[in-house]
Structure formats: C-alpha cells, structure tokens
Structure 1
C-alpha cells in the first residue's frame, strides 16, 4: 500500500479493498463489476494538516476485444459516452484497474473541517493596502460624484 500511496502522491493509504466479479460478455469480451473501499490521508489544501477520507466506489469496466470505431472525417473526435469501455489486452491487471479507480475517486482539494482562508493584505511600508472596493472600475467616479454632491 505504501507504493500505491507514493504513486498517487498521497500521505497515506490506511485501508484498501477491491472486490468484484469478472464475467464473460459474448465470445471475446469481459465485464468487471466490483467495489472499491479505501481510507486515504491527504494534506489539507489550506493548512497542510492531514485529512482522512473514506472512499466507497462502484467500479464497472467492459473489456472489449474490438473497440467501437471512432474514425471521423472531422478534425475532432467525440469521446464515447460509455466511459467504462477499455481495450482487452492479453492480461487483465486488476491492481491497475483498482489503482486507476482510486486515483479518480480521490478528493482533488481535501480540506480540514476547521480550515479557513483569512484575507491577506500586502502593501509597501507607509501605504494603505488596496481593498476590494478600490479595484472596482467606477469606484473613483463614485467618490468624485459624492464629493460634487457634497459641495452643493
């Protein structure tokens, strides 16, 4: 499990279970239906504190000897809607399928429950930091309008 955690660039993999069934589908194709369960540890994107996540995923793969023809006269080819289709090779590598499914199920931006971003303001010494209000395109015109109305 340490090797898988290193390959996926996560801090830890506490539990990992992949269970399923491979059945024949027609004369030369196969179907894999399984379940992936894992407990992963990743760094929080805000605080870098460890975040533990439980993953439960249903896995379906159709391993076809002959993939549907995607040839097209156009420059672009549309991806098939069925993303469970894969090319059947001489060996069905279940560990590779499990690792791919785990990689796709990982949270992209894990965040600790109490993590929050505070607002940071930077400015040269002696100057006032810029506020969101200052970045608005008509803020200067509003200030001028308010000043002119105040003179009346």
Structure 2
C-alpha cells in the first residue's frame, strides 16, 4: 500500500487569510473607538479600554468598562460589515459571557464590591456607504456575581 504524502498541520496561513484577519482587527479597533465616542456622548465615563487584570491568572479582556450614572458597565463591542455570520450580539456566546463574568469578579476584587454591575453589548454595523450604525444593548445578559 503506497504511503500518503504527509500534510503539514503547522503550515502558515495564506497571505489572503492574514490580510482578512488584519482587516478584521482594524475594523474591530475602529468599532471600539466608535463605541467609546457613542458612550461618552450619552454621558458615560470610560474607566478602561481593553481591560485585563494583571497577574490574576484570568484570560481575556473586556473591551470597555464604563460608569453610567451609578452603574459599572462591562461592554463587549462587536463589529460587523454584514450579517453573513449572524447578528453581532450572537457572537457573545456562553463562553464569552463566562469570561466577562470572571473579568467582572476580578474587577470587583480590585475596585470594591459596592457597585451595581451591568453587561452591555454595542453592535457596530459598517454599511455599504462606510457610515457605521450603532446599537447599544443595555443589560444584554445577566450573570451572577
């Protein structure tokens, strides 16, 4: 029986895939900039961007931590140019929610627990005309802290 040629599982991604990934990261960062401006224009005070607890052994980051009146909001920003892969908020799945819960617990440990917390999602849609549409879903999901 002839041997099959071995395929490398460690091959580098194609240049096209790398370019698409870079475009998505750039679009995501631009979306976060838009989300910060949107929140600020509605009276929110931005406490942190891309917050991750140092030395806590917790992976991940929270896109935005903001104070909206007397509520601390953990905001996940999802940017899309089409709905080919579903609605932006659908990307905040159970795994991401658990991660945000762990991050919120770490934030409380560092900043005190006398705060009311809320978990929000901001959706940024890039239309054909390049003008973004923003939707702020306040209290998008609940977790037990």
- Given the two structures, how large is their TM-score scaled by the length of structure 2? 0.26
For normalisation by structure 1, the TM-score amounts to: 0.25
Bigger share in helix = 2
Q: For the pair shown, which has the larger CA radius of gyration, 1 or 2?
A: 1
